[in-house]
Amino acid sequence: MNVAAQTQASWPQAGFSPVCALQVFGMRRSGNHAIIDWLMRNSPDGATGGVFYNNCKFGKNPERAFGSLDVYDANREVTPHKDITDKARIMQAGSAPMVIVSYEDRMPEPQGQAQKASDGFKNTDFSYQVIIYRSFLNWSASLLAKLKKNAGYGMTDRMRIMMLALNGYIEGLDKVASKREVRAICYDEWMTSECYRSETLASLGLPVRDLDRGNVRRYGGGSSFQGKGVSADNLGSTSRDAEMAEDPEYQLLLWTAAHDLQFMERLIPHFEADAERLATLAETSKLHIKLPPRKAHV
């Protein structure tokens, strides 16, 4: 499918006909918002602006069930969050904007099936489905660091959330491998390779206008380690594993993943270096834990 071939039967109800529309999926802390903002800055030449429906509810109409809304003007810059209605804000994007609908911690339907994420829309209402993903060691370190900033979470809460997130993460890697139509963007490569960024735009039929990575976005409080407003040039997002290496909870998480053979087999095709490090961890690290015996009842 290409951008020009897209049908737009459902979009006019929103008051516009997108020049390009993307359905984006990804786990939290995968660089989703940095990449989405960058895609918006590289919208097609004919785009009158941009509309980003962030963190939509899966299975609901994204025009009414989004977590937040960003609107871009004709200069591809985010318009101020004025005290006006969402409809009035969207009108600032013009009649033919680029549109991105994003879903966090969810993945698209299997190969060949109709999309279910955006109620009221068909597969053909979107130019492409996109999955944003990140290396396991950096993603898990970033997510755990973010959770540890929440004073309301204890260790068992964090471990429960992390284990559930692992299922979604590995499902995403499976979808990257199995869905031929999906466009996958690896955050680690996007951060480190200008050539990769250029090739990614070409794969989506977008012009190569801006290869800069921009600043850390405001969503989710910004970086798990460095907050908001940090330039990508100063963001150590590809070495988060080193920053969390001495954290006992991170160590326990890695030990568990390293001993899950199915998880490891699914990780290897995507991040072989991560898998090799985990395999070494499994071979060399021991858990020295012994449950004390029950006291005898008198």
Instruction: Let me know if residue 35 belongs to a domain.
Output: yes
With 50 as the cut, is the pLDDT of residue 202 above it?
yes
pLDDT at 62 over 60: yes
Domain count within the chain:
1
What's the whole-number mean pLDDT along residues 6-23? 81
Structure pTM? 0.88
Q: Classify residue 178: in a domain, yes or no.
A: yes
262 Cβ neighbours under 8 A, 6+ residues apart: none
Phi, psi angle pair for 149, to nearest 5°: -80, -10
pLDDT per residue over 119-172, tens digit each? 999 999 999 999 999 999 999 999 999 999 999 999 999 999 999 999 999 999
In a domain, 19, yes or no: yes
Q: Which domain holds residue 280?
A: 7-284
Residue 177 lies in a domain: yes
Q: What is the pLDDT of residue 193?
A: 96
Query: How far apart, in whole angstroms, are the C-alpha atoms of residue 1 and residue 204?
Result: 10
User: Could you tell me which of 231, 238, 13 has the C-alpha nearest to residue 138?
Assistant: 238
Residue 265 lies inside a defined structural domain of this protein: yes
Residue 144 resides in a domain:
yes
pLDDT of residue 1 exceeding 80: no
Tell me the CATH number at 164. 3.40.50
Q: Answer whether residue 106 is part of any domain.
A: yes
In this structure, is residue 289 part of a structural domain? no
Residue by residue, DSSP assigns 249-291 as HHHHHHHHHHT-HHHHHHHTTT-HHHHHHHHHHHHH------P
What average pLDDT does the structure give for the chain?
Answer: 89
Residue range 229-258, pLDDT digits in tens: 555 554 556 789 999 999 999 999 999 999
